[in-house]
């Protein structure tokens, strides 16, 4: 049986189910308890689990991230919520220098089973310092796993897998997608980390994206279908480990690739996907790979400039026509 749930409800259900299943799991972060979460993802969890397992923290990301890392090294499984990954910049020392390196620096004696989660990417007129996309930042660090998915069903299953994982996992959500609805199965299930999803079958071009950029990507696929161009759409879901095999197999079929990525173009996720495809499927490409990224500037504040900054369906359709040599 499936129900229709929002993304925020599916994430809450994942955390609550894992906290019922395992008493070592707890949630901490700014406003997660008394206020029910900045985006109401943790609504009702304080009442069910109490203040020892749903913990409001001061506005001190470096401090509470460090508490989480220490708790993970001592046998607990913390879920650390950042109000936005933009604020997590203050905690990068704990994430990058401690959590990611615990296993290697201890020669395998200590694991660090911790989840860092919160929204990444733009969310309208929030200004440059609140609108950055962090998937490529975190995926660049050995020892970290990175999940980035807005589909409610998959987001729930991936978050449950992240909580059970013995390595630190960064879960990137989207502030403007928490109300997105989708079918979510009842009962316990997980989605494996490191496996992409083919959202639409196609024959003429492969479109690869993740997180909220899946929406303009799927819209572009429909527009292209109306013009007789069949697009296969792949949702990466996990950035590290990256399921490049699914992408390569699709490119071998379609012979063309467009990668849509909210990250800045320089050294972003799209750059990594493009490199690997040219390495493993070069002989199958009938055209150079094209990337559709956010503009290579800090996000402007004006709404018209926000629209110009981000990828959209029209930009994706234009890119596809370039790789398909269609005017």
What mean pLDDT is reported for the chain? 97
Tell me how many degrees the CA angle 79-31-189 measures, rounded to the nearest 5: 35
Question: In sequence order, what are the residues at sequence separation of 6 or more whose Cβ sits closer than 8 angstroms to the Cβ of residue 70?
Answer: none
Active site residues: 61, 130
* Tens digits of residue pLDDT in 155-192: 999 999 999 999 999 999 999 999 999 999 999 999 99
What per-residue confidence (pLDDT) applies to 125?
A: 85
Q: Check for a shared fold between 2-185 and 197-323.
A: yes
Question: In sequence order, what are the residues at sequence separation of 6 or more whose Cβ sits closer than 8 angstroms to the Cβ of residue 272?
Answer: 136, 139, 242
**Which residue, among 88, 97, 74, has the nearest Cα to 143 in the 3D structure?**
97
* Tens digits of residue pLDDT in 32-70: 999 999 999 999 999 999 999 999 999 999 999 999 999
Does domain 2-185 bear CATH number 3.90.1150.10?
A: no
For residue 163 the two structure tokens come to: 């909580």
Domain boundaries, the chain: 2-185, 197-323
pLDDT above 80: residue 199: yes
CA atoms within 13 A on the CB side of 223: 16
In three-state secondary structure terms, 48 is helix
Helix boundaries (H) for the chain: 7-21, 45-49, 61-73, 92, 102-105, 135-139, 152-164, 214-226, 244-254, 269-280, 303-309, 313-323
Element (H, E) at 117: strand 115-119
CA atoms within 13 A on the CB side of 290: 20
Question: Where does residue 102 fall: left (phi above 0), alpha (psi -120 to 50 degrees), or beta otherwise?
Answer: alpha
The residues that bridge with 231 in the sheet, in sequence order, are 205
Write the CA distances from 82 to 15, 134, 268, integer angstroms: 15, 13, 22
Regarding pTM above 0.85, the answer is: yes
Where does the pLDDT of residue 124 fall: very low under 50, low under 70, confident under 90, or very high at 90 and above?
confident
What per-residue confidence (pLDDT) applies to 231?
A: 98
pLDDT above 80: residue 327: no
Question: In sequence order, what are the residues at sequence separation of 6 or more whose Cβ sits closer than 8 angstroms to the Cβ of residue 159?
Answer: 11, 14, 15, 115, 117, 147, 171
What per-residue confidence (pLDDT) applies to 2?
A: 87
In three-state secondary structure terms, 211 is helix
What per-residue confidence (pLDDT) applies to 49?
A: 98
Fold type of domain 197-323: Rossmann fold (3.40.50)
pLDDT above 90: residue 300: no
**Mean pLDDT of the region 80-104:** 97
* Tens digits of residue pLDDT in 230-282: 999 999 999 999 999 999 999 999 999 999 999 999 999 999 999 999 999 99
What per-residue confidence (pLDDT) applies to 78?
A: 98
What per-residue confidence (pLDDT) applies to 1?
A: 84
What per-residue confidence (pLDDT) applies to 157?
A: 98
């Amino acid at each position: 049986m499936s129900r229709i749930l929002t993304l925020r409800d599916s994430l809450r259900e994942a955390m609550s189910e894992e906290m019922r299943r395992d008493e070592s799991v707890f949630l901490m972060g700014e406003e997660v308890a008394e206020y029910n979460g900045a985006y109401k993802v943790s609504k009702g969890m304080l009442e069910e689990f109490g203040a020892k397992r749903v913990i409001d923290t001061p506005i001190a990301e470096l401090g509470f991230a460090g508490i989480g890392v220490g708790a993970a090294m001592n046998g607990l499984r913390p879920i650390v919520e950042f109000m936005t990954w933009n604020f997590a910049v203050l905690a990068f020392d704990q994430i990058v220098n401690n959590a990611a390196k615990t296993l290697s620096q201890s020669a395998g004696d200590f694991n660090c089973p911790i989840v860092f989660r919160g929204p990444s990417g733009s969310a309208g007129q929030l200004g440059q310092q609140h609108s950055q996309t962090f998937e490529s930042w975190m995926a660049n660090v050995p020892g970290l796993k990175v999940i980035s998915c807005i589909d409610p069903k998959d987001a729930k299953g991936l978050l449950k897998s992240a909580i059970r994982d013995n390595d630190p996992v960064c879960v990137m959500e989207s502030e403007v997608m928490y109300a997105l609805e989708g079918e979510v199965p009842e009962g316990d299930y997980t989605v494996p980390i490191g496996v992409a999803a083919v959202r639409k079958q196609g024959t003429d071009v492969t479109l690869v994206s993740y997180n909220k950029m899946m929406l303009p990507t799927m819209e572009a696929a429909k527009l292209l279908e109306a013009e007789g161009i069949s697009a296969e759409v792949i949702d990466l879901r996990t950035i590290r480990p990256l399921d490049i095999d699914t992408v390569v197999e699709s490119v071998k079929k379609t012979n063309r690739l467009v990668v849509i990525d909210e990250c800045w173009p320089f050294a972003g996720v799209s750059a990594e996907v493009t490199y690997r495809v040219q390495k493993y499927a070069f002989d199958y490409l009938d055209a150079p790979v094209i990337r559709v990224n956010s503009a290579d500037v800090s996000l402007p504040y004006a709404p018209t400039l926000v629209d110009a900054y981000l990828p959209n369906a029209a930009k994706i359709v234009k890119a596809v026509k370039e790789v398909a040599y269609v005017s």
